[in-house]
Structure 1
């Protein structure tokens, strides 16, 4: 169970890094927001789901 938690945290860190870099770049480029809006919302939804899933899995570790 600890390995699953560590993998979830690793995926969460990688996705967070991608979102921290990707969202400002998307907002800074002219006209990119309309094209990338769904991708940004999907990424944010996946991130929120990973936070919840990681918390639930972590509650079973100890």
Structure 2
């Protein structure tokens, strides 16, 4: 079970890094926000869901 938790945390760290680097680049590029708005919102929703899933899953792992 702890391997699953470690994989979820790794994916959270990876997604966080991608978002921290990607969002400022997208916002600085002219016209990219309108084109990539939905994938950014989807990624932010996935990040939020992943934080909640890790929190719930962590309560079952000792």
The CA RMSD measured in Å over matched residues stands at 0.5
Q: Which runs of 5+ in 2 are unaligned?
A: none
TM-score (norm 1): 0.97
Give the secondary-structure state (helix, strand or coil) at the position aligned to 2:60. coil
Q: CA deviation at 1:52?
A: 0.3
TM-score scaled by structure 2?
0.97
Paired residue for 1:17? Answer: 17
Distance of 1:42 and 1:25 partners within structure 2: 17
Tell me which stretches of 4 or more aligned residues in structure 1 moved more than 2 Å.
Answer: none
Unaligned runs of at least 5 residues, structure 1: none
| Equivalence for 1:42 | 42
Q: How many residues align?
A: 62
